[in-house]
Chains A and B, each alone.
Chain A
């Protein structure tokens, strides 16, 4: 196989030759950056789904307060349920992939992964909300329904001007009686459930656990992440100094000299080091 390695601009008009060793270094760096970003992407996915739940609840509460559109109410209930299911799914994606992403960043350091494993076990032990939402995934996957009861409340209260005004509240609940039994839910957690659980309270506490796990994971990979970032930036710097800033969106290619169409491997690099979707702490 007559391989060649190079960095190429997105328009494929200019390229910079690499050695096989440089290609491997870039590939390793890209894998680490990709894993690091995946941790944050997945965490943000959970938080975004949480916001969607709040929006869906707010919207449903307003529909109930208006009482003028039955279809909107029924659609709103389905939408809320869908958003909760998406949240639970995204949370499971985050927790189930977290160790793998860290391991990809620090394959040679087993102890760092063990630190995260212990942290995850600790969150599971200390937080009922963590255990419950984690178990809720299995229930939702089986049954498709995540909440059982919605309660609206309105109260007349005096405002600062001494005038009475009506305040509106909405809450969503998961009820143990409707879950069924240990056959439908993780038995050890099912035994802990007492009666009715307020969804938002559970999710708020669960979010705190996820944030601690996210922060711990990012701390563990910080050194590797910075080095990978520097390495990729270095190659981009060389490319840009050769061809100019208009060629800053770059890709690494393992191809063959025999045919320009034949590509064994290719991956982007600029999208990681010039990623404006995250705060400065990750770049």
Chain B
């Protein structure tokens, strides 16, 4: 069902589409790069997963996970600030009950590894975990979107 004439101050970056799944015992908010932009980007994916610490999990629970969209935007802003000088682009940024994750497409994954290793872990999270994915931005987005339907989040 489409919503018309939506008035909101909560503005998402124009480069991204979004998905938000709210169920009885899980929630997942995801920003993903528009297809016309993702198609033009080359490189491999480095995914950085920031797991929530116990205190943050309790806070998230207290607001019934309704802070996820805002937290996703904050994480996107933080990472984009860090990679501003690097040849890379955030492809997916998403928040679930377990983690806040950022997937970055880059021709030089080692630069992302170095940047993450040097950054101070943001509040609310434990040390980040890094995953390398040998796939394109479009393929990664497709995988993440299909996982919304099947994954136990």
Residues of A within 8 A of B (CB): 54, 57-58, 61-62, 64-68, 70, 73-74, 77, 148-156, 164, 166-171, 175, 178, 196, 200
Contact = CB atoms under 8 A, between A and B. Distances in A.
A151 B14 contact: no
28 contacts: A61-B3, A61-B6, A62-B8, A64-B20, A64-B69, A65-B3, A66-B8, A66-B9, A67-B66, A68-B9, A73-B66, A149-B21, A149-B22, A149-B24, A150-B21, A150-B23, A151-B22, A152-B20, A153-B19, A156-B15, A156-B16, A156-B17, A166-B6, A166-B12, A167-B2, A169-B3, A170-B1, A178-B24
Interface residues of B, number: 27
Contacts of A154: 12, 17-18
A151 B10 contact: no
Interface in B56-100: 63-64, 66, 69-70
Nearest to B67: A70
Contacts of A62: 3, 6-8
Contact of A156 (B1, B14, B24, B149): B14
Contacts of A152: 18-20, 22
Contact of A58 (B3, B8, B34): B3
A62 B22 CA distance: 14
Interface string B1-43: 1110011111010111111111110000000001000000000
Q: Which 8 A-B pairs have the closest CB atoms?
A: A152-B20, A67-B10, A168-B3, A149-B23, A70-B66, A154-B18, A66-B8, A150-B22
Contacts of A68: 9-10
Contact of B10 (A65, A73, A153): A65
A98 to B, nearest CB: 29
A70 B64 contact: yes
Contact of A151 (B6, B21, B34, B66): B21
A53 to B, nearest CB: 10
Nearest to A70: B66
Given A151-B19, A156-B16, 18 more contacts: A54-B1, A61-B3, A61-B6, A65-B8, A66-B9, A67-B8, A68-B9, A68-B10, A148-B24, A149-B23, A149-B24, A150-B22, A150-B23, A155-B17, A156-B14, A164-B14, A166-B12, A200-B1
Contacts of B1: 54, 57-58, 61, 169-171, 200
A168 B11 CA distance: 12
B69 A67 contact: yes
A178 B25 CA distance: 10
Contacts of A168: 2-3, 6
A54 B1 CA distance: 9
A80 B20 CA distance: 17
Of A156, A164, A175, chain B has the most CB atoms within 10 Å of the CB of: A156
A166 B8 CA distance: 11
Nearest to A69: B66
A151 B69 CA distance: 13
Nearest to B11: A166
